[in-house]
Amino acid sequence: MSKTDICSLLGIKYPIFQGGMAWIADGRLAAAVSNGGGLGIISAMNADSKYLLEQINIARELTDKPFGVNVMLMSPHVNEVAELLAKEKVPVITTGAGNPSKYIPMWNEAGIKVIPVVASVAVAKLVTRAGAAAVIAEGGESGGHVGEITTLALIPQISDATPLPVVAAGGIADGRGVAAAFMLGAQGVQLGTRFLVAHECNVHANYKQRILKAKDIDTITTGKRLGHPVRSLKSQFSREYFKKEYDSSISNEDLEQLAVGSLRLAVVEGDEKRGSFLAGQSSGLIKKEQPAAEIIEEIFKEAKEVLRGSENILNGALKWVK
């Protein structure tokens, strides 16, 4: 089960991506995931090309395996970042927060596999026509910026809409989620929240402890009023921000400003009052810190066991139907 078209396309052992999380997904974490058999991803976030090149070089020093870079298309530095990645010929680029069609020809010419994150069938079809190598279909259960459609509903619709391999994301944290994603038509998975507690992840200890202590109802979505909802753990900041969204005396500009720097406060300083601890609904499934490679091995061992047992489940269901 571990070998799929995604593995063949990218030259990786397991069909698992590590999410490109801003302020979190650096060269060290990406290398650890790639060394563990998955596809580690560096976040370009809003940084300039100098920062990104530093992280690319760190990853190259720590691994000889394929890795990727996530490009945030709304970044003010996106043009210089796009050109740097073409020059550096990174193996894989994933994209978010926009339409990457403008850059895909340049990246393809450099031999880069482009895999956009999509949250709808329409966008999946658009990037397929533009020359993407695969798509990441991300449901609203994920952490960070989210869409409206759930992973369960989104994956089969995206799989039907494009001939490209589909990577499922959103709410997946263990082998059961991987097995379910495969049954829905995906050929790979992307995990973000689970890798927050990897030993190689640079987030503050307070961030990791919040993930480890989270329950099923401990995330909240804010930012709907502004048109770009974000999922995070419930905290003093997120609860206060949520209330302010319904305060008509606060302008959209002021509301936007309130969130500036909040993720950095969580990741770097572990500020439990002013920080925004981005995380997905799968947080309640995560109970221990582990090396990235161990996380990957454990997930696919469990996925294989689940899929092997699916025959018994099917037989039971058939008996019920009869």
Half-sphere exposure of 290 (CA within 13 A, CB side): 16
The pLDDT of residue 228 is: 86
The pLDDT of residue 312 is: 64
Quick check: 130 pLDDT over 90? Answer: yes
Task: Say if residue 141 is in the same domain as residue 242.
Answer: no
Task: Say if residue 167 is in the same domain as residue 272.
Answer: no
Task: Say if residue 107 is in the same domain as residue 252.
Answer: no
Task: Say if residue 56 is in the same domain as residue 193.
Answer: yes
Q: How confident is the model at residue 268 (pLDDT cuts 50, 70, 90)?
A: very high
Q: What confidence tens digit (pLDDT) does each residue in 82-108 have?
A: 999 999 999 999 998 888 999 999 999
Q: Which two tokens stand for residue 24?
A: 């979190």
Quick check: 319 pLDDT over 70? Answer: no
Q: Which two tokens stand for residue 169?
A: 């994301």
Could you give the percent of the chain with pLDDT greater than 70? 95
Q: How confident is the model at residue 318 (pLDDT cuts 50, 70, 90)?
A: very low
pLDDT, averaged across the chain: 92
Q: Rounded to the nearest 10 degrees, what angle do helices 175-183 and 151-161 cross at?
A: 40
Model pTM score:
0.91
Question: Domain range holding 193?
Answer: 5-202+287-319
Task: Say if residue 76 is in the same domain as residue 188.
Answer: yes
The pLDDT of residue 57 is: 96
Task: Say if residue 192 is in the same domain as residue 271.
Answer: no
Domain count across the chain: 2
**Secondary structure E strands in 44-186:** 67-72, 92-96, 113-118, 135-138, 144-145, 166-169
Question: Which of 269, 282, 136, 135 is CA-nearest to residue 196?
Answer: 282
Q: What confidence tens digit (pLDDT) does each residue in 172-191 have?
A: 999 999 999 999 999 999 99
- The span from the CA of 137 to the CA of 126, in Å, is 13
Q: How confident is the model at residue 315 (pLDDT cuts 50, 70, 90)?
A: low
Task: Say if residue 228 is in the same domain as residue 275.
Answer: yes
Q: What confidence tens digit (pLDDT) does each residue in 205-238 have?
A: 999 999 999 999 999 999 998 888 999 999 999 9
Task: Say if residue 136 is in the same domain as residue 240.
Answer: no
The pLDDT of residue 98 is: 84
